[in-house]
Structure 1
Amino acid sequence: MTIETFPGSSGYIDAGGDKKITYFSNTYVLGLTVVAGIGGLLFGYDTGVISGALLYIRDEFEVVDQSSFLQETIVSMALVGAMIGAATGGWINDAYGRKRATLLADVVFALGSFVMAGAPDPYVLILGRFLVGLGVGVASVTAPMYIAEAAPSEIRGGLVSTNVLMITGGQFLSYLVNLAFTEVPGTWRWMLGVAALPAIIQFFLMLLLPESPRWLYMKKSKSEAIVVLSKIYDPFRLEEELDQLSSSLEEEKQRKNAISYLDVFRIKEIRLAFFAGAGLQAFQQFTGINTVMYYSPTIVQMAGFRSNQLALLLSLIVALINAAGTVVGIHLIDYSGRRKLALTSLFGVIFSLILLSAAFFLESSGYSNAGWMAVLGLTLYIAFFAPGMGPVPWTVNSEIYPESYRGSCSGMSATVNWVSNLIVAQSFLSIADAVGTDWTFLILAGIAVAAFLFVFMFVPETKGLTFDEVERIWKERAWGSSSSRGSESLLEKGPES
């Protein structure tokens, strides 16, 4: 670990000599990461808290208890908002910067939390869920992008994955809050309303932080960008970073002034990058992660554990494993690489989903220990998913797009995530009612097999590469190695360890 502090600096990373950049090399960058990652905490808290709150919402509103569709709508309306927030979040980030986008997300999220806490009926509650979703959608685009653009390439994967740790930490926190308020009058109102607190904290902390240095350099002020970058890199490395930014800026000037969303599909290398990024986001959801996180207490009850408190307690264990697995992922993503980590993760997910399917088949046949087998399946699923398919899609999407398309492509890709999330959340209970929980998890296992093949065929390794080097990969895939700069193909060479 290397930390050197100079007057006027927060301690920059010295890339000279044999000194190695590590996750803890620079407290300034780590501070930016943690504050930006509160957006991930909001994301995780919102996805986790509704699973427990729903048990008590059903108790208070009879109409909700009697309608699976209304339960799914309360859960998934936040996803509708997130879908819209992610779709507009890319444009907001490109036009106004990562910092302002974060501040806007915090305001909208806090407003939605207050509306939910005071909801007199299920329909006002649904409105609050929509507002919270808007904030989460913008944050889901902004946080990984902000972190990636401030992070040295050697540790970018681990730092971006910190945002995913905040997501899983938020989910774990939501289960703790759910348990804390189970005996308090107003139960679910406290569970949902307390979510405003981290949004307010992030708003005021974000006011103290700079804009993304890359966005500043490309869109606003080179001098402001240099001030920020000088707190991250030593003078030698700073010069290299500025050279790369200057080169990127020249390329942007040669492109069209107006960036069209249609260009994403018209330009072959951008299309290939977006296909890989959006595909990862879709498969992250269609392999069932938020089925588990939204409905884990319900799944536990389906497995035979009828007590609300016991269901929440067992779900808390699942959420703790999710957070712990993400910590493992932070180390592995820059050590073993994105692609290998995703493939290993999916292999374990397939096994776990088959085990879950078998557990529910045995439960329906009257097997006495099937409930514990289902809990084991949930636990293994999270243990395999969290280190790989949790952080990999967000990390890859934060680094695979050229500067001028990063906001729009990240927003579109996050929208794919939220649309997929919405489809899964809105359909899980209905499909389980129609074909049985055992067949539902078997279907998810089949999708996980397709995801494994997708990653193997279409997702390149980006570990340790600069943004410019990642751009070369897509040009090589689109037009052959002769189209990229440099004599050696990155596809053949691979990233340096």
Structure 2
Amino acid sequence: MAEEEVTREMQELKESVEAEARERGSSEKVSLTALVKTPTVRRALVAGVGLQVFQQLVGINTVMYYSPSIVQLAGFASNQTALALSLVTSGLNALGSIVSIYFIDRTGRRKLLVISLVGVIASLALLSAVFHQTTTHSPAVGSADTRHFDGSLTCPDYRTSSSGWDCTRCLKASSTECGFCASGAGSKLLPGACLLSNATVRDACHGEGRLWYTRGCPSRYGWLAMVGLALYIAFFSPGMGTVPWIVNSEIYPLRHRGVCGGVAATANWVSNLVVAQSFLTLTGAIGPAWTFLIFGCLSVAALAFVLVCVPETKGLPIEEVEKMLEKREVRLKFWAPRGRGSKNDGV
């Protein structure tokens, strides 16, 4: 029995090598339209391109590009502190990529993607909740604190109508850019001053030993936002950070792998551009809480996409992957009991 199994696998290996040699020897030009019309390649492109697009739509590069700004939105006033804390995300991203090397062939591609996305969804939900608390429970603007400074430094919008103002409303002043000088009475959560945002006012605020805020407001939940960011990176990096690239290297027929891989990479970078360019606009228009909630909803869509459209390619030759795509097999119960063969694992 063992001898027959070895003979069969040797024959499959021989056929695979011969097929690869034939594909490499082909000089036929590849048409993208023809690829899309081929069911097997089209389904592979849907899976590969979809993974690359969702990798960006869950918001990873907004965290990597704008982590200092996110830290300040969470209530950390110092630029130096924000920059230092943002380095944590880069370190966790590198560590997670190393972790994926260990787990990628032990858990399988889909399982790692699902675990990653579940963690990302939970982390984004936490971030959305924290930023909601930060913006809805920000310190009040005190008239006495504001009058403590020269009247010409008061935020014009606050001077016009000072009733019911808090830090969040101060930072969203429409007529001119304003900042919040936190209380100097021992707690940054006490009422502070709403002032014009410029270097002179900032220095005056710092001169009294106060903290100066222009992006986010003082909050007791700032550390919880950092936990959410750390969890987001820790879950994203080993799964959604690396697996889309691995799947794209395994899912396409040899003859079309270069073109299809290029299409998927282009989709990744275009999505990256859209998300990165829109992040600061979104946080300014609807606030960080709703922005992270949108990313959370997109992560739920990504999870559904992985369960329905992405095949498990762990340990499979390209011929087996093509057969799965031809049959259009979808199995939602992908977590096979230990001991079953990998060829039937989670497609």
TM-score w.r.t. the length of structure 1 is 0.47
CA distance in 2, matches of 1:317, 1:492: 37
- TM-aligned CA deviation for residue 313 of structure 1: 1.2
1:440 corresponds to 2:262: no
Aligned pair 1:250/2:22, yes or no?
Answer: yes
2:280 is equivalent to residue 429 of structure 1 = yes
Match in the other structure for 1:475: 326
The within-5 A match list for 1:133-144 is none
The correspondence for 1:286, drawn from 57, 70, 92, is: 57
The answer for the alignment partner of 2:244 in structure 1 is 393
SS in 2 for 1:436: helix
Opposite residue 386 of structure 1, the aligned amino acid is S
Aligned partner of 1:260 among 28, 31, 47:
31
Q: Provide Cα deviations, 1:192-227, integer angstroms capped at 9, x if missing partner.
A: xxxxxxxxxxxxxxxxxxxxxxxxxxxxxxxxxxxx
Please tell me the residue identity of whatever aligns with 1:477.
R
- The structure-2 alpha-carbon separation of the partners of 1:450 and 1:363, relative to structure 1 and needing over 3 Å to count, comes to same
1:405 aligns with 2:177: no
CA distance in structure 1 between the aligned counterparts of 2:27 and 2:46, rounded to whole angstroms: 22
Assess, with a 3 A threshold, how the Cα gap between structure 1 residues 239 and 494 changes in structure 2: closer, same or farther. Answer: closer
Larger relative helix fraction: 1
Deviation at 1:467, TM superposition (A): 2.4
Is residue 357–residue 439 contact of structure 1 (8 Å, CA) maintained in 2? yes
Residues 425-477 of structure 1: CA deviation (Å, up to 9, x unaligned):
01000011111111000010000000000000011110011223222222222
Q: 1:458 to 1:239 in 2, by over 3 A?
A: closer
Aligned to 1:327: 98
1:210-261 deviations in Å (ceiling 9; x for gaps) = xxxxxxxxxxxxxxxxxxxxxxxxxxx99976652322333676x8822111
Matches within 5 A, 1:457-476: 457-476=308-327
Q: Is the 8 A contact 1:464 1:495 kept in 2?
A: no
Segments of 4+ moved more than 4 angstroms: 237-243
The TM-score, its normalising length taken from structure 2, stands at: 0.67
The answer to whether the 8 Å contact 1:269/1:475 transfers is yes
Query: Which residue of the partner structure matches residue 372 of structure 1?
Result: 223
In structure 2, the residue matched to 1:297 is 68
Larger RCO: Structure 1 or Structure 2 (Cα < 8 Å, ≥ 6 residues apart)?
A: 2
Say whether residues 1:315 and 2:86 are aligned partners: yes
Summarize the alignment of residues 104-119 of structure 1 with structure 2, pairs less than 5 Å apart. none
Q: CA RMSD in A?
A: 2.5
Q: Is the 8 A contact 2:316 2:343 kept in 1?
A: no
Work out whether residues 303 and 374 of structure 1, in 8 Å CA contact, stay in contact via their aligned partners in 2.
yes
Partners in 2 of 1:278 and 1:372 — Cα distance?
A: 36
Question: Is 2:234 aligned against 1:383?
Answer: yes
- Do 2:315 and 2:343's aligned partners in 1 also have CA atoms closer than 8 Å? no
State the distance in 2 between where 1:492 and 1:363 align.
47
What amino acid is the match of 1:405?
A: H
Does the 8 Å contact 1:357/1:437 carry over to 2?
yes
Match of 1:343 in 2: 114
Name the larger-Rg structure.
2
Q: Which residue of 2 aligns with 1:494?
A: 344
> What does residue range 171-182 of structure 1 map to in structure 2 within 5 Å?
none
Matched residue, 1:356:
127
For residues 80-132 of structure 1, the C-alpha deviation after alignment (integer angstroms, 9 at most, x for no partner) is xxxxxxxxxxxxxxxxxxxxxxxxxxxxxxxxxxxxxxxxxxxxxxxxxxxxx
User: Structure 2 stretches of 5 or more lacking a match?
Assistant: 4-8, 139-218, 330-340
Write the mapping of 1:446-461 to structure 2, written as runs, cut at 5 A: 446-461=297-312
Q: Give the Cα separation in 1 of the matches to 2:27 and 2:89.
A: 49
In 1, the alpha carbon distance for the partners of 2:69 and 2:101 equals 30
Distance in 2, matches of 1:493 and 1:390, equals 25
Contact kept in structure 1, 2:119 and 2:235, CA below 8 Å: yes
3-state SS in 2 of match to 1:475: helix
